[in-house]
Amino acid sequence: MLKVSEVQAGYGAINVLWGVSLDFPLGRLTAIIGPNGAGKTTLLRAIMGLIPVQRGEVVLDGFPLTGRNTWEMAALGIAMIPEGRMIFRDMTVEENLAMGAFPKPHRPALARNLERVYGLFPRLKERRRQAAGSLSGGEAQMLAMGRGLMSEPRVLLIDEPSLGLAPVMVQEIFAILRDLKEQGVTIVLVEQNTHMALSVADGVYLMRSGKVLMSERAQQVDVERLHDLYFAREAA
Ligand SMILES: Nc1ncnc2c1ncn2[C@@H]1O[C@H](COP(=O)(O)OP(=O)(O)OP(=O)(O)O)[C@@H](O)[C@H]1O
Ligand SMILES: [Mg+2]
């Protein structure tokens, strides 16, 4: 279990997360939804150690992550696929993937993991020698996901993978998420597309204004109430 307890974090003097607690059971897909500025990306950054946790803690299987460096996360089995993809445009597809296996412990498995990623994303294999900057939006998202998988993470944090993609591409990305879940990967999915998020998730959290407003099993979510909270039609 990846457990976030009472976490308070932000940027310098600006606090964003106000004591949020979320549980991410192993082997499950947990979705975090919420409007712009809710603090979803900030939460992922706090888990990854990209910003300091001011109060509270993050624990993976009883092992505290709080206070660890971001570069230790790959060795601990955690990878993040950031919002906006952040691929290296001037490098080829394959060079971008190799960057995902850059930490030394992952280098011996490079060839095996490349084959695994190409198996999941045949389009990337076809375009392996192409500059990443020439990929379509959906292909760039596949590349970002593929790179995240190169370190064989047990826990994958994904920030808005469907953003700006055509519906057919969104379907493809979500099919891959389902595959990964079947392979036992623990997935934390930040997603604005409530409908798609509910279709794959086991559990759902709704965040707004740096707080968790709702926590529910995906099958039991009352979509009407979710949307009321999402759009602040109900006092929080
Ligand atoms: N580097 C930063 N410095 C200062 N404030 C920031 C920084 N990054 C984000 N914020 C602020 O923190 C708040 C939460 O932002 P965050 O990116 O976590 O929201 P989000 O839920 O991911 O939103 P979106 O759905 O738009 O991606 C916002 O008010 C934002 O302006
Ligand atoms: Mg965000």
The string of pLDDT tens digits covering residues 71-103 is 899 889 999 998 877 889 999 999 999 988 877
Q: pTM of the entire structure?
A: 0.92
Ligand 1 touching residue 84 (CB < 6 A): no
Gap from CA of 44 to ligand 1 centroid (Å)? 11
Alpha-carbon 168 to chain mean position: 20
Helices (H) and strands (E) in the chain, counts: 9, 10
Sign of CA pseudo-dihedral 1, 185, 162, 131? positive
Ligand 1 touching residue 113 (CB < 6 A): no
Ligand 1 touching residue 40 (CB < 6 A): yes
Which atom belonging to ligand 1 lies closest to the Cα atom of 43?
18
Gap from CA of 106 to ligand 2 centroid (Å)? 28
Ligand 1 touching residue 42 (CB < 6 A): yes
Which atom belonging to ligand 1 lies closest to the Cα atom of 40?
21
Ligand 1 touching residue 13 (CB < 6 A): no
Q: Where does the pLDDT of residue 6 fall: very low under 50, low under 70, confident under 90, or very high at 90 and above?
A: very high
How far apart CA 24 and CA 204 sit, in angstroms, is 10
- 9-66 per-position pLDDT tens digit: 999 999 999 999 999 999 999 999 999 999 999 999 999 999 999 999 999 999 999 9
Angstrom distances, CA of residue 48 to CA of 3, 8, 105, 156: 13, 14, 19, 11
